[in-house]
Amino acid sequence: MTQGGHEGHRHDGGAHESDGPGSIGQRLNWLRAGVLGANDGIVSVAGIVIGVAGATDDRSTILVSGLAGLVAGALSMAGGEYASVSTQRDTESTLVETERRVLAEHPAEAESALAASLQERGLSETTARDAARELSAGDPLRAHAAVEYGLDPDELTNPWQAAISSFLSFTLGALLPLLAITLLPEGVRVIGCAVAVVAALALTGWSSAALGRAPRVRATVRVMGVGAATMAVTYGLGTAFGVATA
């Protein structure tokens, strides 16, 4: 299942909506996670329905198997994302609370640490100290959390958002092979579903590579190859099972 969601969120308007490239990067990460979730849904359910279609021609059996795979996969994705992002949020909350305590008890040391972080980003010592002083005069917690940890104290990662996003992306991806295998005529059911799946994987592979700034052709071919291999293996197993029980 995908890995997706392991990133932060900024959705509300206001002064922090476009705080530099971090906000844009977080949104691209979420979008990429959604694409990868859809990819997982396509491959997982395609493998199931193609495999069952290799064993039986009964449309109802294929549909029920595909639906079971869709629900189980979507819930598994959602549960995994919820647990993972909850842990991430706990870590973020600990960092923010630690920073809040340090600012309250040792403000001078905290300002020096902020200046050091700014120096590491390329500012001269004098400029870094001036910037740290100015930032600390406004909202010191937000400034320290943003510079030192890349966090917004008011917008920590949301496990429910991650879970729902993963559930929906997997479900949307899984619907394509499920609908293709059940709606197409029996004679072209398997090949038609396989073609639809490979075409959809070409789109998700290209999109995820573009969002991740990876080589697009190689990534697309790799995703298509994995999907095609999955369907070939499960269809072969289904056919063998069907022959064995006929």
More confident residue, 78 or 211: 78
Q: How does residue 244 score in pLDDT terms, banded at 50, 70 and 90?
A: very low
pLDDT, tens digit, for every residue of 167-203?
A: 999 999 999 999 999 999 988 999 999 999 999 999 9
Residue 134 in domain: yes
Residue 1 in domain: no
Residue 237 in domain: yes
What is the domain extent for residue 47? 21-245
**CA gyration radius for the chain?**
24
Q: How far apart are CA 101 and CA 108, in angstroms?
A: 13
pLDDT of residue 153: 83
Q: How does residue 110 score in pLDDT terms, banded at 50, 70 and 90?
A: confident
Q: How far apart are CA 146 and CA 169, in angstroms?
A: 30
pLDDT, tens digit, for every residue of 125-153?
A: 889 888 888 888 888 888 888 888 888 88
pLDDT, averaged across the chain: 83
Residue 5 in domain: no
In terms of pTM, does the model score above 0.85? no
Q: How far apart are CA 67 and CA 63, in angstroms?
A: 6
Residue 63 in domain: yes
Number of domains present in the structure of the chain? 1
Residue 54 in domain: yes
pLDDT at 243 over 70: no
Residue 3 in domain: no
pLDDT, tens digit, for every residue of 35-63?
A: 888 999 999 999 999 999 999 989 999 99
Residue 10 in domain: no
